[in-house]
A and B are shown apart, each in its own frame.
Chain A
Amino acid sequence: AQSVTQPDIHITVSEGASLELRCNYSYGATPYLFWYVQSPGQGLQLLLKYFSGDTLVQGIKGFEAEFKRSQSSFNLRKPSVHWSDAAEYFCAVGPSSGSARQLTFGSGTQLTVLP
């Protein structure tokens, strides 16, 4: 069975500092990997996704993620965090068919940004 682990429930960083959110997955085949952000009162927004090819993926809002097959990880990074990045972040894994029905989400990481 597929699963996603986000080890950090809550992370606090200062504005301008770098950020890395961890995501580890378990999947029996080639996974499709996603990072979503959820702000209060808003729906989940797709930050980036990895299907194949270059293992370093660029997303919106200055985020990037690196797929490491050997470590079963897909960590999200940002070089310099802005106060508006405070939100909850979800990692998800799914099959190569792209079926949303088979997406598995992590439990999320809440990001707090200090001024």
Chain B
Amino acid sequence: GAVVSQHPSWVICKSGTSVKIECRSLDFQATTMFWYRQFPKQSLMLMATSNEGSKATYEQGVEKDKFLINHASLTLSTLTVTSAHPEDSSFYICSAPPRGRPQETQYFGPGTRLLVL
């Protein structure tokens, strides 16, 4: 089946630094990728929709200047958490529907756990 990878899987950083998370579709192209955030024992919350060749669409309450999204190619989207603070510590998950397929067929990455000290 289709595979989505994320890198890194685990990152620890100091408060105030920026962290970049990559999401790659390994065997298919994706014009759209989704970024989610998951707190412990809570559900996945959609943060933003990454669109290849155009600006990302952010959900209400998500700071676009803090969570920078770049959809560099049809197989890569990056999420940069700028000036990270401890409250940004969370599990970040990306997903992607194959190009031309319905969005409900999205494939999920394994997630990136971010800890900000």
A4 within 8 A of B: yes
Q: What class of interface size applies to chain A in its complex with B?
A: 20 to 34
Measured between alpha carbons, how far is A21 from B34 in the docked complex, in Å?
27
Report chain A residues within 8 Å CB of B46: 101, 103
B67 within 8 A of A: no
How many residue-residue contacts, CB under 8 A, span A and B? 54
Pairwise interchain contact B49-A44, C-beta atoms closer than 8 A: no
Report chain A residues within 8 Å CB of B111: 43
- Hey, what's the 0/1 contact readout for A30-44 against B, CB within 8 Å counting as 1? 001010101001111
22 contacts between A and B (CB under 8 A): A9-B41, A34-B104, A43-B95, A44-B44, A44-B93, A44-B95, A46-B105, A90-B43, A90-B44, A94-B104, A98-B102, A99-B103, A100-B34, A100-B104, A101-B34, A101-B57, A103-B104, A104-B43, A105-B44, A106-B43, A107-B41, A108-B43
